[in-house]
Amino acid sequence: MKPSKLGQTPVVRTILPNGLTIVVKSLPHLASVSVGLSVDIGSRDEQPHESGLSHLIEHMVFQGTRRRSTRELSRVISAVGGNLDACTGRESTAYYAKVPSRYFHLALDVLSDMLRAARFQPAKLKKEKQVILEEIRMYEDTPDEYAHDLFFQALWPKHPLGRSILGTRETLLNLKRPQVMDFLQRHYHPGRIILAVAGNIQPATVVQAARQYLGSMPLAKRSGTEAPPARWLGGRHLLRRRKLEQVHLCLGVGGLPYTHKQRWVALALSNIMGGGPNSRLFYEVREQRALVYTIYSFMDFYRDTGLAGLYLACHPRKARRAVRLVRDILYRLTTRPITDQELRDVREQMCGNYLISLETSSTHMWNMIQHEMYLHRHPKQKAILKSIMQITKSDILSLARSFFQRAPVASAIIGPVPNKLREDLQAWENEK
């Protein structure tokens, strides 16, 4: 697979005197520029009584600054054809915009204004808590989303990674403005912030603008309350009975950290297992036996751990048959090498997906954020493609065995669950 010219521009990395990290990829063939400010803080960094605080802050920075109202923050970006958004994860919180490249300074001005000058007015804080309560209700009424949240609890029952990013009703309503401001002062400092910019822009322009908008952010020491290491315990099965048409099931095991040398092997395994219509789970469980409509696998990677999981939804009468078939498919992945055709297909698929993704400035921005946050370096496109093309059948077999033959399985089940289904999962666990 030949590299694409779209991704071969080097990443230019600069650190300002106050500790802010800047990463830029110049893509002169594009009309857009994507600008992201990522803070190295997420839900796993919260204390139990702070659960949901990172997500609440993400909401509140859109509720007005000293220079702009809530409406104005949205208007100035949408008025030039751009978009402004944010997301909270378990290990980071990101604020980002995509605009025509000539409006780069506007995008960075707005984002830095949100991070540095958000007002956090008590009335707005009270109002936004109600918005998030509705968001929590929405997730709980969306069984596939709720199953994934519950799955994290099953994987890490006594660790911050197992808590919902949104928090709970109780923790959210108990959060007060002094706690919010204290959390900001402890964690939102330039040493924990990455500015990632990709698109039709020159690195020197970005660095100059970063000095203007963010260079005066004060230095601060890291908080002494670092997130505890995640220890994979596994084997927990959580059940929530509900009157639904389908049973929703997440099942899986602890996985690899982002820095692991076999991360690309794990992604290849996931693609073969349940990465699309050509995958084993999709073909055998849906296409051949019509037991499900939705089934897929997924891999998540964090600082010191990860997960390998799958999700399916089906009629209660089909649930036990579906799980037995999934178990058989995973067993075959751990006992027999994949075929030569599967290996060729997964390599080409992963390389092709990667190269196609490079056609947008936002992909480059997110890649730089992840690489800087986890690796502190920026692999070249050629090296990434080489890593994918060097994956072997024995690599995939070995990793499948380490995931599904030796590791304890965890699960989360929601819906009208058949009485015997949980027993089936526990029996599966006991036979390892």
Residue-wise pLDDT for 104-135, tens only, equals 999 999 999 999 999 999 999 999 999 999 99
pLDDT of residue 251: 95
pLDDT of residue 430: 65
Residues 246, 364 share a domain: yes
Domain boundary among 182, 214, 246: 214
Domain boundary among 155, 180, 214: 214
Residues 346, 315 share a domain: yes
Residues 333, 260 share a domain: yes
pLDDT band at 238 (very low <50, low <70, confident <90, very high): very high
pLDDT band at 31 (very low <50, low <70, confident <90, very high): very high
Asked if residue 70 belongs to a domain, the reply is yes
Task: For the beta carbon of residue 330, count every other beta carbon within 10 angstroms.
Answer: 22
Residues 122, 24 share a domain: yes
**Close Cβ partners of 392 (under 8 Å, ≥ 6 residues apart):** 343
Percentage of the chain modeled with pLDDT above 90: 88
Look-up of token digits 């959580």: 238
Integer Cα distance of 331 and 352 in angstroms:
29
Residues 384, 255 share a domain: yes
Residue 224 has pLDDT above 60, yes or no: no
Asked if residue 117 belongs to a domain, the reply is yes
Three-state SS letters, 16-73: CCCCCEEEEEECCCCCEEEEEEEECCCHHHCCHHHCCHHHHHHHHCCCCECCCCHHHH
Integer Cα distance of 280 and 282 in angstroms:
6
Residue 292 has pLDDT above 70, yes or no: yes
pLDDT of residue 221: 61
pLDDT of residue 167: 97
pLDDT tens-digit map of 164-207: 999 999 999 999 999 999 999 999 999 999 999 999 999 999 99
Our CA dihedral for 53, 57, 63, 69, rounded to 10 degrees, sits at: 160
Please give the biggest Cα pair distance in the chain.
Answer: 64
pLDDT band at 424 (very low <50, low <70, confident <90, very high): confident
Domain boundary among 149, 182, 214: 214
Q: In sequence order, what are the beta bridge partners of 314?
A: 247
pLDDT of residue 2: 63
The pLDDT of 379-397, averaged and rounded, is 97
Task: Verify whether residue 342 is a known catalytic residue.
Answer: no
- What spatial distance separates the first Cα and last Cα of the chain, rounded to whole Å? 40
Integer Cα distance of 147 and 412 in angstroms:
6
**Close Cβ partners of 66 (under 8 Å, ≥ 6 residues apart):** 117, 119
Residues 249, 101 share a domain: no
**Close Cβ partners of 186 (under 8 Å, ≥ 6 residues apart):** 223, 225
Q: Among candidates 341, 247, 408, 365, which has minimal Cα distance to 11?
A: 365
pLDDT of residue 229: 82
Asked if residue 224 belongs to a domain, the reply is no
Q: What is the mean pLDDT of the chain?
A: 94
Residues 330, 203 share a domain: no
pLDDT of residue 233: 67
Integer Cα distance of 114 and 138 in angstroms:
26
Contact between 312 and 295 under an 8 Å Cβ cutoff? The reply is yes
Query: Which of 58, 91, 342, 372 does the annotation list as catalytic?
Result: 58
**Close Cβ partners of 328 (under 8 Å, ≥ 6 residues apart):** none
Asked if residue 409 belongs to a domain, the reply is yes
Residues 203, 261 share a domain: no
Q: Residue 266 is part of a domain; what is its CATH number?
A: 3.30.830.10
The pLDDT of 373-386, averaged and rounded, is 96
Domain count, the chain: 2
Our CA dihedral for 101, 104, 110, 113, rounded to 10 degrees, sits at: 160
The pLDDT of 151-157, averaged and rounded, is 93
285 three-state secondary structure: helix
Instruction: Give rounded-to-5 percent helix, strand, coil for the chain.
Output: 50, 20, 30
Residues 131, 76 share a domain: yes
Percentage of the chain modeled with pLDDT above 70: 95
Residues 17, 76 share a domain: yes
Buried b (16+ CB within 10 A) or exposed e, 124-153: bbeebbeebeeebeebbeebeebbbbbbbb
Residues 186, 83 share a domain: yes
pLDDT of residue 248: 97
The pLDDT of 347-370, averaged and rounded, is 97
Integer Cα distance of 412 and 148 in angstroms:
8
Asked if residue 2 belongs to a domain, the reply is no
Integer Cα distance of 6 and 25 in angstroms:
10
Phi-psi region of 321 (alpha: psi -120 to 50; beta: other; left: phi over 0): alpha
Asked if residue 59 belongs to a domain, the reply is yes
pLDDT of residue 416: 94
Residue 89 has pLDDT above 70, yes or no: yes
Contact between 264 and 285 under an 8 Å Cβ cutoff? The reply is no
Asked if residue 220 belongs to a domain, the reply is no
Q: What DSSP string describes 117-145?
A: HB---HHHHHHHHHHHHHHHHHHHTSHHH
Q: Where are the beta strands (DSSP E) in 222-290?
A: 237-241, 247-254
User: What pTM was estimated for this model as a whole?
Assistant: 0.94
Residues 423, 325 share a domain: yes
Determine the structural domain holding residue 407 and report its residue range.
237-430
Residue 272 has pLDDT above 90, yes or no: yes
Asked if residue 223 belongs to a domain, the reply is no
Residue 410 has pLDDT above 70, yes or no: yes
